[in-house]
Structure 1
Amino acid sequence: MLRHLVATSSLVFLASACGSSSSAPSETPPVPSASLPTPPASLVSGAGDTSGASGSTPKKGAPSVAERVKQFAPVKLTADVSKLPPSEKAALDKLIAAAKLIDPLFARQAYRDNVNVRAKLVTDTSPEGKAKLEYFDIMRGPWDRQDHFKPFAIDRERPKGAGFYPEDLTADDFRAYVAAHPAEKAKLEAERTVISREGDKLVATPYSEAYAEWLKPAAGLLLEAAKLTSDKTLKTFLTTRAAAFSSNDYYASDKAWMDLDGLVEITIGPYETYEDDLLGRKASYEAFVTVADPAASAKLARYKKLLPAMEAHLPIPKEVQTKRGAASPIRVVDLVFTAGDARKSVQTIAFNLPNDERVRKEKGAKKVMLRNLIEKKFDVILRPIAERVLVPAQLENLSAEAFFDEVLFHELSHSLGPAFVNANGKKTEVRVVLGASYSAVEEAKADVMGAYNILYMIERGELPKELHDKLLVSYFAGLLRGVRFGVAEAHGQGNALQINRYLEEGAVSFDDASGRFSIDLPKLEASIGKLVHDLCMLQATGDKAGVDAALAKYGVESAPIAKATSGLTGIPVDVTPSYPLAGE
């Protein structure tokens, strides 16, 4: 999605979640993990001192809620709709209306009692109460997503299962129940069911029933838009997605979404599983309503043809490389509205969907670049950060072009690398095997692989040589932007993992006195290749213990990260968007 922070996901530079997604499937099952090379012990060893690259630093004088609100800069995002035909303008209005219904739905997915908690906050008109309400709306709940989900407007810890499971249900309890009731396994583990208790039983309710209050009217609005638009690809997607809201089967509409090729586009449905920290299975609803730029999209289309070459060039054994659908379109769009999982805390600037491996095998995955938001974040956040935390001599290589390219290749890289492992003799998706640990390591993989693939494109002559140093500097600066999302968030933790690895290997150094990083460009290029290999092999072997150990050692706020980010006062952590075309 994603989300991409995310993600979303993720992304070196992605916000939420963006839009991250799992790798595309291979056409033949991989060899058993026991016969594969294992990652080096340096990546998967237990937590410990790595010359200032591991161990968290306690926060002193934590900011007030009002101060935390100020860390998110208000921005207006819009698009030029003057050239849209009347039919598409009318359809756009209906799509925005449909997307607005995703917000109350997602609120309940994030936490079942969110509506009641917010209602209580509304009654507190004190300055502190108003600040809590505003921060609640940014965080989409009463827990601080930027600070390990610490409560700020409630007196209880966040349930790991968000609003998808009973609050007191543990992962072990769930697995034990599924093992004892194998006939119910498929429904209970499905991405699009809500789990509740009825006595001693766990009951799985399809999203189409659990969220019918919002999905039914949203489907109606999609059908109204389908009647208005003259774009056949949009009409097909809207009719099939409206049907999916009732059937809970999104396969046909995911394929139709891949074929969208008009001036107005919408991404709406359950995609990313970031909210489910219990098992990493349940998908959250989100919506992106956009206006496309066909000319800009066409300029990037050549990269989808190079995906097989990028896969073959990965520094991993051939047997864990994958083959995937050849469509993989790339779209450059401007946002006019977001909702649900796409509008929480850190805002996604690009995404790579769908996540359904069946669709990926047939058609690949679409990469969507949210141009107006990418530009806004570079100007408002990334450049000011780099000016404070990089040595001045390297600032000349900070580049908006390199930032955009890294975002693009992050999304492309979500479609590369291992997709399945053999678990207990069964071909299983990597994300399922790694569970809740998958998102952070996948975001880190897409970040570093994005940089690796840009360097490869430069080597091939597909991109100019002048981009080489700019890419390395802008990539690392982007990590410092993303780590501020907090290591409780997948993209933030993935960014921390990369920074701390590079510190350990001497690819970057940190001067405590000045609070600035210096990049050794040749060493960073070498470290990027090593890290791509190590992360891919953790995924290829389905090594959850190794992933957890790597995240525990490297995915933390180390002393250099803490010192550098503490000097970023006044620079927004992210943005809070408003959309004039949606009446905001």
Structure 2
Amino acid sequence: MNRAAAALVLMLSTSPEAAPPSAWTENHTREILEKTQTIRLDTDLSPLSAGERAALAKLLEVGAIFQDLYEESRHPKALELRQKLDAQKTPLAEQQRTLYRLFQGPIANTLQNERMPFLAADPVVPGKNVYPWGITKAQVQAVLEKHPSLQASLLAPRTAVRRADATSLRQDLGTLERYPVIAGLHPGLSETLRALAKKPDPALLYAVPYAVAYAPRMVKAHGLLWDAASAVEAEDAEFAGYLRNRARDLLSNDYESGDASWVRGRFRRLNAQIGSYEVYDDELFGAKTFYSLSVLIRDDAATAKLEKGLQGLQALEDSLPYTPHKTVSSDIPVGVYNVVADFAQARSTNTATILPNEPLHARRYGRTILLRSNIMKNPNLFSNGRTVWEAVVAEPFRAHLGPSGGFNRTLWHEVGHYLGVDQDVKGRSVNSDALEENSSALEEMKSDLVSLYIGKQLRERGFYDDTTLRELYASGILRVLQVVRPRRDQPYQTMQLMQLNYFLDQGLLELRPDGLHIHYEKYPEVVGSLLREVLALQRAGDKPASDRFIERYTRWDEAVHGVLATRMRAQQKYRYTLVNYSALGE
């Protein structure tokens, strides 16, 4: 980060903090816990060598560091509240600990899809704790309008934004003095902070790299990754090289070396997603990434079978309804894995991942796809989805939902991130820069639609037969059903509602007294039409146009959506899923 990266100049108003609400009672917590199922991932570790097991232990320690950091970066009081809960032994405290584990912090998502503190904590704010707590988008935009050169630093994916008060500046300068290796990796930053410290003013803004903001934990994680690399080097030199590169990345705040060795590496058994990548938690600008770590074991047989089906990607890219098309590699690093443990932003029932997101890194090295087999094939998760499906789909269509549909839709959804528009006409990334907080919803919808759009071509190639193609299409319908009205800050649910409305408008779906009817003959045309609109929006990079598009297709009609949601809620046994991991002793 250069000197401008830490600068800032604009008076920002501050507002008094309201008193935090009271903690929930047992009745409040029980309402959610009764709708929560627990699944346990008991991944077989027997294929691992002694060195791999030693590396795994170190990676799990890094995961615990990232877990703390994730909770703190979403709420400033999270770790303090968790510590207090751990010291309490009452039945209510036990319930609250479960809620904390489920929601990874003191903010619950209620059955009514409202976010509320269940402990005595401040309500959630859009910028979480990676911006000054409670700052508004208008305040940050005012800075950027007066000082446009600051956008690269204040909205960088891995910087924490501060107010230039004496305490913050003193802490950051102290960090750079205590960790000279970090100071050396960020030349000019100390000088900039010293200049600001001469006249501290809490109305000013500056930004520091995550490596500085979280220096003690990054240094600790660096050492653990180095230890993990040493443990596994004799039998998996490429994985060890990746771990060392990623260890350095955590201090430099530049992920290129780690991304290159991760994406292009050919690892033996273990794989690990390590770092700060996804922007979903930043509801202010959709710019800031949050930490995650996943440790996985490769399923060689399933991966080999999958790789054979991923040939000819350029033809699929060229078939998409947009121009100009780009050149894509057919050598996509893809693997089927069993999850050993997830931490922080990755801790959920997430079925797959494609990273990195930075367009430059993706262009240079590609992106790796990690399919999480023991999540995707979990029978309890599939059963819960079938219950929702059968509640609203008319009887002639109920048997169309099958296990292959979700797997294949997820696979080609991830490939869909690799295809299509990646930069707008101004060269800005479609993942965050161009459409700000709308970027995630539109990118996820694009990938959903690509997975369905190319289904017909894959049928012609023999990847699908008639049954598995229909299961893909059925999974695409299940994907968009909403049991509650989405909030605008929920990118996945927002784009799913948009697809549902478009499918209803275009006659792909029809609501009759006996339930939803699916007009499969309209599937390719309707999906292609919506995909064309999404790709055009991404290419144009027109934020106001994307606002209007989202507003148009996020309508909620109680006579339609409300009726469907009521039916699904009446039949759905579980709304939430808590994942436990045997590797963590859970």
* Contact 1:508–1:524 (Cα < 8 Å) also in 2: no
Tell me the equivalent position of 1:457: 458
Deviations 1:259-286 (A, max 9, x none): 2422011101000011111111111000
Tell me the equivalent position of 1:390: 393
The amino acid that maps onto 1:497 is M
Deviations 1:205-240 (A, max 9, x none): 111111123222222121111111121221111000
CA offset at residue 122 of structure 1?
Answer: 5.7
Tell me the equivalent position of 2:16: none
Tell me the equivalent position of 2:242: 237
Tell me the equivalent position of 1:332: 336
* Contact 1:411–1:446 (Cα < 8 Å) also in 2: yes
Secondary structure, in 3 states, of the residue corresponding to 1:301?
A: helix
Distance 2:487 2:151 in 1: 34
The amino acid that maps onto 1:341 is Q
Secondary structure, in 3 states, of the residue corresponding to 1:202?
A: strand
Tell me the equivalent position of 1:176: 142
Distance 2:393 2:536 in 1: 31
* Contact 2:420–2:535 (Cα < 8 Å) also in 1: yes
Tell me the equivalent position of 1:311: 317
- Is the aligned partner of 1:283 residue 2:282? no
Deviations 1:432-451 (A, max 9, x none): 11001111121111112111
More displaced, 244-253 or 571-580? 571-580
Distance 1:548 1:149 in 2: 23
More displaced, 502-511 or 399-408? 502-511
- Is the aligned partner of 1:85 residue 2:86? no
Distance 1:134 1:115 in 2: 15
* Partner residue of 2:274 out of 246, 268, 273: 268
Secondary structure, in 3 states, of the residue corresponding to 1:195?
A: strand
State the identity %: 26
The amino acid that maps onto 2:253 is N
CA offset at residue 289 of structure 1?
Answer: 0.6
Deviations 1:279-316 (A, max 9, x none): 11111000111111122112111344322111101122
The amino acid that maps onto 1:352 is I
* Contact 1:507–1:520 (Cα < 8 Å) also in 2: yes
Distance 1:305 1:169 in 2: 48
More displaced, 396-405 or 167-176? 167-176
TM-score (normalizing by structure 2): 0.82
The amino acid that maps onto 1:382 is G
CA offset at residue 523 of structure 1?
Answer: 2.1
> Where do residues 59-458 of structure 1 align in structure 2 (5 Å cutoff)?
64-119=28-83, 130-145=94-109, 147-154=113-120, 156-182=122-148, 184-198=150-164, 199=201, 200-229=203-232, 230-258=235-263, 259-316=265-322, 318-319=323-324, 321-343=325-347, 346-376=348-378, 378-423=381-426, 427-430=427-430, 431-458=432-459
CA offset at residue 141 of structure 1?
Answer: 2.8
From the superposition, tell whether residues 284 and 558 of structure 1 become closer, same or farther in structure 2 (CA, over 3 Å). Answer: farther
Secondary structure, in 3 states, of the residue corresponding to 2:341?
A: strand
CA offset at residue 130 of structure 1?
Answer: 4.6
CA offset at residue 499 of structure 1?
Answer: 0.9
* Contact 1:493–1:556 (Cα < 8 Å) also in 2: no
Tell me the equivalent position of 2:553: 554
Secondary structure, in 3 states, of the residue corresponding to 1:203?
A: strand
* Contact 1:409–1:454 (Cα < 8 Å) also in 2: no
Distance 1:483 1:370 in 2: 27
The amino acid that maps onto 2:461 is R
> Where do residues 522-541 of structure 1 align in structure 2 (5 Å cutoff)?
522-541=521-540
From the superposition, tell whether residues 98 and 155 of structure 1 become closer, same or farther in structure 2 (CA, over 3 Å). Answer: closer
* Contact 1:270–1:284 (Cα < 8 Å) also in 2: yes
Secondary structure, in 3 states, of the residue corresponding to 1:290?
A: strand
In structure 1, stretches of 5+ residues that fail to align are 1-62
The amino acid that maps onto 2:327 is K
The amino acid that maps onto 1:99 is G
CA offset at residue 553 of structure 1?
Answer: 2.9
CA offset at residue 571 of structure 1?
Answer: 2.4
CA offset at residue 470 of structure 1?
Answer: 2.0
CA offset at residue 132 of structure 1?
Answer: 4.1
Distance 1:331 1:481 in 2: 30
* Contact 1:352–1:367 (Cα < 8 Å) also in 2: yes
Secondary structure, in 3 states, of the residue corresponding to 1:429?
A: coil
Distance 2:399 2:473 in 1: 12
Secondary structure, in 3 states, of the residue corresponding to 2:454?
A: helix
The amino acid that maps onto 1:457 is L
* Contact 1:503–1:509 (Cα < 8 Å) also in 2: yes
More displaced, 455-464 or 187-196? 455-464
* Contact 1:267–1:288 (Cα < 8 Å) also in 2: yes
TM-score (normalizing by structure 1): 0.82
Tell me the equivalent position of 2:11: none
* Contact 2:459–2:469 (Cα < 8 Å) also in 1: yes
Secondary structure, in 3 states, of the residue corresponding to 2:549?
A: helix
From the superposition, tell whether residues 485 and 381 of structure 1 become closer, same or farther in structure 2 (CA, over 3 Å). Answer: farther
Secondary structure, in 3 states, of the residue corresponding to 2:126?
A: coil
From the superposition, tell whether residues 382 and 168 of structure 1 become closer, same or farther in structure 2 (CA, over 3 Å). Answer: closer
From the superposition, tell whether residues 498 and 190 of structure 1 become closer, same or farther in structure 2 (CA, over 3 Å). Answer: same
Distance 1:65 1:245 in 2: 37
Secondary structure, in 3 states, of the residue corresponding to 1:462?
A: coil
CA offset at residue 530 of structure 1?
Answer: 1.0
Distance 1:324 1:69 in 2: 46
Secondary structure, in 3 states, of the residue corresponding to 2:318?
A: helix
From the superposition, tell whether residues 84 and 311 of structure 1 become closer, same or farther in structure 2 (CA, over 3 Å). Answer: same
Distance 1:415 1:169 in 2: 34
CA offset at residue 152 of structure 1?
Answer: 4.1
In structure 2, stretches of 5+ residues that fail to align are 1-26, 165-200
The amino acid that maps onto 1:245 is L
Aligned residues: 513
* Contact 1:272–1:284 (Cα < 8 Å) also in 2: yes
Where relative contact order (Cα < 8 A, 6+ residues apart) is larger, the structure is 1
Distance 1:130 1:149 in 2: 21
Deviations 1:416-470 (A, max 9, x none): 11111234xxx21223110011111211111121111222211333322332222
Distance 2:353 2:336 in 1: 11
The amino acid that maps onto 1:302 is K
From the superposition, tell whether residues 306 and 69 of structure 1 become closer, same or farther in structure 2 (CA, over 3 Å). Answer: farther
Secondary structure, in 3 states, of the residue corresponding to 1:278?
A: coil
Deviations 1:376-409 (A, max 9, x none): 1643422222222222221222111121000000
Root mean square deviation, CA, Å = 2.4
Distance 1:309 1:435 in 2: 30
CA offset at residue 113 of structure 1?
Answer: 2.3
Distance 1:552 1:128 in 2: 41
The amino acid that maps onto 1:333 is Y
* Contact 1:406–1:471 (Cα < 8 Å) also in 2: yes
The amino acid that maps onto 2:417 is H
From the superposition, tell whether residues 483 and 475 of structure 1 become closer, same or farther in structure 2 (CA, over 3 Å). Answer: farther
Secondary structure, in 3 states, of the residue corresponding to 2:102?
A: helix
* Contact 2:75–2:129 (Cα < 8 Å) also in 1: yes
